[in-house]
Structure 1
């Protein structure tokens, strides 16, 4: 059976796309057929590199797609409204994921922003997509101060809908973490979103594909195909 994994974040610019690419890269390296779907892309013009194309650049063996894009860097529902259009319905995203599932072993569905960012005027969110797909949700967390509250709130939202948290990945770990960041590595697993499943170094998105896969392997936990252990402290 095809596995579907939904990827969300504690907010914007936390490293969701790189984390999605890292999971995809390790699955491709294991010989799995992988597809990555961007639920909705905002803040990118028609000819610019969106998140799906970023994944394609980092993971050449993966199939990538996006449902729709809007050029203004806003929440999907707002960007759609200002562009005179409508954001994708939850069922449209879910159907696209299921279409991809027919030819792949793993489908990763990357959201925009956080779990409850509105996709459309009907106030549907990535959580609605995950419900339709009955898929677990991987949370990509900001390493900085404040991430514990955002992680706990996301975990509560997941559980209130009966969704399964698939773990937490720190999306952009700096070379010189401060005290709050180091303490967060200990505290994040207690926030209810599942185990700490990896710590990805900042700057990974600029690596060549082969090097990217190598770094992904040592930065993601066993459950995601890597060798990183939560006993490691950065």
Structure 2
């Protein structure tokens, strides 16, 4: 798996922290890693973006941004309002392939959900994944409402002949409610793809050294970790 696309069912659900955990787990296995953020929105030049945050948490990865737009909007909208050139799916694919020639793993982190538009022609992260022939990891929230959003995301991937690798819960609460506990069993069925990890809420605030040490415990072996879905689910079995 030289290139892995990381998307989400929405915004602010933990994509960057999951990306950092993926990078940390791969680094712990001795792999070289690049993190590619095609479109960073909501930040001015000089402010650290998502790729830089993933590198801060994970360690020595290569962080790359293709475009940055100042307003916190969908990339196509933010580019249009700023009078800037948008990033296009084919540019994302070319950049990812170049990084893959020099790294063992390239993590491509999207902006918002899967079908958020990159450009005025409706290009999306899903289009970049299709061009690359790369699998997509879906980051989802734990609680009520996540089943529908996750199913819609994986259906959209399959409709474009893109393989959903699995689902990772981006922010597992310290005291999960009934919906979150039930979703551990229901998410794989709804997604048609395995549950491959659960990152604890607040993980991004951990000191980097501790984050790197614990990341492998949050991710399944398919993602270079040690997390076991069956054992995790048994610890939170709903009555």
TM-score range, shorter chain: over 0.9
Secondary structure of 2:229 counterpart: coil
Structure 2 Cα separation of the partners of residues 30 and 222 of structure 1: 11
1:217-228 residue pairs with structure 2 within 5 A? 217-228=216-227
Q: 1:33 corresponds to which residue?
A: 32
TM-score normalised by L of structure 2 = 0.95
Structure 1 Cα separation of the partners of residues 224 and 193 of structure 2: 16
51-60 or 132-141, larger mean C-alpha shift:
51-60
Deviation at 1:150, TM superposition (A): 0.4
Q: How many residues align?
A: 233
TM-score normalised by L of structure 1 = 0.97
Deviation at 1:47, TM superposition (A): 2.1
Q: Deviations over 1:123-148 (max 9, x none)?
A: 10000000111000000001121110
Deviation at 1:96, TM superposition (A): 0.8
Query: Unaligned regions of 5+ residues in structure 1, if any?
Result: none
Deviation at 1:60, TM superposition (A): 2.0
- Provide the alpha-carbon RMSD of the alignment: 1.1
Deviation at 1:193, TM superposition (A): 4.5
Q: 1:88 corresponds to which residue?
A: 87
Secondary structure of 2:180 counterpart: helix
Query: Unaligned regions of 5+ residues in structure 2, if any?
Result: none
Structure 2 Cα separation of the partners of residues 215 and 172 of structure 1: 15
Q: 1:133 corresponds to which residue?
A: 132
Q: What stretches of structure 1 move > 6 A for 4+ residues in a row?
A: none
Deviation at 1:151, TM superposition (A): 0.4
1:1-234 residue pairs with structure 2 within 5 A? 3-231=2-230, 232-233=232-233, 234=236
